[in-house]
Structure 1
Amino acid sequence: MVLSVEITIREVQGEEDYPGIVEVHCSDVERWYKYVDGRKIEARYKELTPFERWLNGGPWMDLETIHLHFDILKSSKGKAFIAIANNEKVVGEAEIVFSEEPEPYGRYCFLEVLVVHRDYRRRGIGTKLVKHCLEYARSHGYKLFDTIPEDERSKNLYIKLGFKRMFYLYKMRKTCEKGVASLYFKRIPAGEHPKDKLLISGHWYSSVYIWQNILRAQDYNKFKGFNFKEPLFFEIIRNEEVMGLLSFQAHFLNPKLSISYIWVKPRYLVRKLLTEIARCIAYKALELGFNEVFVEVDEVNAPAFLSAKYKRIGKVEYLRKFYEC
């Protein structure tokens, strides 16, 4: 382990930085695994396909997939920064995306990624990366800075920097069932990001970044092992008026499980109407061939889904830092 290092932070400049970023992310994996006939078994990195590497930590785990990831980040108006030790080795990375959404989010900067090489932790590198991102956002006129901590270690870092919990996001599932839908779901082609609507399910990243990842998911299929299904988009219509937009996306390991992203116009954020939407989504999912629906909603809207018989299976904290420009 290096005893002392000089750390500099700069923006990712291009492909020449990608190998170092991959190494940083891979350092976070103690053991590599792959699935064989539904069983999870230990494997060596070189034995894994790009998809199997992706399963161990996302698109940063492979030099092929990271190119597409950064292309998606760029199309989401995102920025990436790296920490460099002694002007030569990449030892950390952070990614942010700027977004403007209906309340309660507003105009804000979201920290999507924060990772430090295993051998360089507890040296304040993560703190330096976050502070750099904060200053970058502030210099561009952003007063709100959001993130979701991956673990207690990162949560403690954010708390020390002044972040506070905004709310919990609840992971919820429901078994699909037959029923008479009171809402009409109109199939539509993928269009532009619905920035006038609030993303009420799936807000584990910023809305615009989620949208781009849904649209571009099948681009990963050019890499060995990937087989992402086409996402299905629907307008949610009640009494001939469009209430929102819905996307069904088959889970990459369980195609019978739908990951459901829901955007709703703010004026329809009423518990009774949200319960109606939640219930009808399960009906529609069954019609499309799914057995279960997964959503992730904040604690304000979670009661509406509980009323529709969704079950809570976990939760994460959504943090926010406010500062004057």
Structure 2
Amino acid sequence: LTEKEETTYDELSPFQRWLHGGPTMDLSIATNYWQESKQETFDPNDIFIAREDSTIAGFIGAFYGEEAAIPGKHAYIDLLLIRPKKRRLGIASKLLEKVEQTARRNGCDSLLVYPEELAGPSGQFYLRNGFSIWKKRFILRLPTIAKPSFEPYLQPAPLKRNATWRLIIGWHSTSLKAWFLLHSSFEEEFFKAKRLVYTLHAEGLSPALLGGICWHPVFQFGAVYLWFSGEKQELSLKHISALQFLGHLVGLKQINLVFLEELLPCIQNFSLNDQPRELEPFLIKKIAR
């Protein structure tokens, strides 16, 4: 950028406020987001805000559920955001404490989160509040393909998420949040998102659930997901090929495959052109009921 123009927060449109701070920063947008997140097709979740008059000073959101890849029932902290001028006042700690109390009442065994940067303020905040590293995460970038190496049979998936699916490859979040993104009209309203959710069937291939979303048709920004109920050794190169194909169907040119550390040897054995790189890890905090 060769030029920049400064503006105040009040001059931003609701769409611009969403881009610059999420639903935390605008009550009208936040209301729609929260109402939709309570639909039956999504897992139970809670959202807490710290308000100062008509302004949201801070926000935390968590999804509650059980998944085969995560021990016991957990609360996944989806977002924790504090307005810059309201930081270092204890607001984040109070919001985190509220989620922990609610998670305990909901029968959760742990809190799960991944920080923006482990060595930065986000990671250090969680470490100070009793979190520790649970598992490493890795990312692999691949091009999409218009024709896979086999003939996949794709069938529209049901709206209700099956908790027995094991999240093998996703985006940043757990499959609870991924399911919400794939079925919420909120992203479609603001980003004109295109989304597809299919069950994958092919001869000799373990069944899987595939999801893909393209948030913006111009910038080619999106994500793909794969839910898998089999053992990790049953994951095959055909599953990866199907994800590349799904990415093409939703309008992406490149996909990012994010996975946990136990899948690293399996992915490396596929001899793909690119090599996985390490991301910030998942952090976990055990909570006593």
- Describe the superposition over 1:237-294 as per-residue Cα deviations: whole angstroms up to 9, x where unpaired: 23276611101211426464551111111x2422x62433113422454466542122
**Partner Cα distance (1:116, 1:234) in 2:** 37
In structure 1, the partner of 2:28 is: 64
In structure 1, the partner of 2:132 is: 164
Q: Residues 284 and 131 of structure 1: is their aligned pair in 2 closer, same or farther, counting only changes over 3 Å?
A: closer
Choose which of 239, 246, 257 in structure 2 pairs with 1:277: 239
Residue 46 (structure 2) pairs with residue 79 (structure 1)? yes
Q: Residues 115 and 146 of structure 1: is their aligned pair in 2 closer, same or farther, counting only changes over 3 Å?
A: same
Q: Residues 96 and 286 of structure 1: is their aligned pair in 2 closer, same or farther, counting only changes over 3 Å?
A: closer
In structure 1, the partner of 2:253 is: 291
3-state SS of paired residue (1:150)? coil
- Which sections of structure 1, spanning at least 5 residues, go unmatched? 1-37
Q: Residues 178 and 186 of structure 1: is their aligned pair in 2 closer, same or farther, counting only changes over 3 Å?
A: closer
Q: Which structure 2 residues correspond to residues 103-114 of structure 1 after superposition, within 5 A? A: 103-114=69-80
Q: Residues 274 and 162 of structure 1: is their aligned pair in 2 closer, same or farther, counting only changes over 3 Å?
A: farther
Q: Residues 53 and 93 of structure 1: is their aligned pair in 2 closer, same or farther, counting only changes over 3 Å?
A: closer
Of residues 250-259 and 57-66 in structure 1, the stretch that sits farther from structure 2 once superposed is 250-259
**Partner Cα distance (2:47, 2:283) in 1:** 20
**Partner Cα distance (1:189, 1:92) in 2:** 36
Q: Residues 119 and 293 of structure 1: is their aligned pair in 2 closer, same or farther, counting only changes over 3 Å?
A: closer
Question: Which structure would you say has the larger Rg?
Answer: 1
**Partner Cα distance (1:252, 1:145) in 2:** 31
Q: Residues 39 and 49 of structure 1: is their aligned pair in 2 closer, same or farther, counting only changes over 3 Å?
A: farther
3-state SS of paired residue (1:309)? coil
Q: Residues 140 and 176 of structure 1: is their aligned pair in 2 closer, same or farther, counting only changes over 3 Å?
A: closer
Residue 226 (structure 2) pairs with residue 262 (structure 1)? yes
**Partner Cα distance (2:245, 2:251) in 1:** 10
Residue 94 (structure 2) pairs with residue 94 (structure 1)? no
- Describe the superposition over 1:53-96 as per-residue Cα deviations: whole angstroms up to 9, x where unpaired: 322232333343212211233234211223467x9985433222
Task: Determine if contact 2:24/2:81 at 8 Å carries over to the other structure.
Answer: no
Tell me the amino acid that sits aligned with residue 260 of structure 1: V
Shift of 1:319: 0.5
3-state SS of paired residue (1:57)? helix
List structure 1 runs of 4+ shifted beyond 6 angstroms: none
TM-score (norm 2): 0.81
Q: Residues 256 and 125 of structure 1: is their aligned pair in 2 closer, same or farther, counting only changes over 3 Å?
A: closer
- Which sections of structure 2, spanning at least 5 residues, go unmatched? none
Choose which of 210, 213, 220 in structure 2 pairs with 1:249: 213
Residue 188 (structure 2) pairs with residue 196 (structure 1)? no
3-state SS of paired residue (1:276)? helix
TM-score (norm 1): 0.73
- Describe the superposition over 1:16-46 as per-residue Cα deviations: whole angstroms up to 9, x where unpaired: xxxxxxxxxxxxxxxxxxxxxx999545345
In structure 2, the partner of 1:153 is: 121
Choose which of 262, 279, 282 in structure 2 pairs with 1:300: 262
In structure 2, the partner of 1:115 is: 81
In structure 2, the partner of 1:212 is: 180
Of residues 249-258 and 238-247 in structure 1, the stretch that sits farther from structure 2 once superposed is 249-258
Identical residues among aligned pairs (%): 20
**Partner Cα distance (1:135, 1:314) in 2:** 32
Task: Determine if contact 1:72/1:212 at 8 Å carries over to the other structure.
Answer: no
Shift of 1:165: 0.8
- Counting matched residue pairs gives 281
Shift of 1:171: 3.0
3-state SS of paired residue (1:301)? helix
Shift of 1:105: 4.4
**Partner Cα distance (1:84, 1:61) in 2:** 11
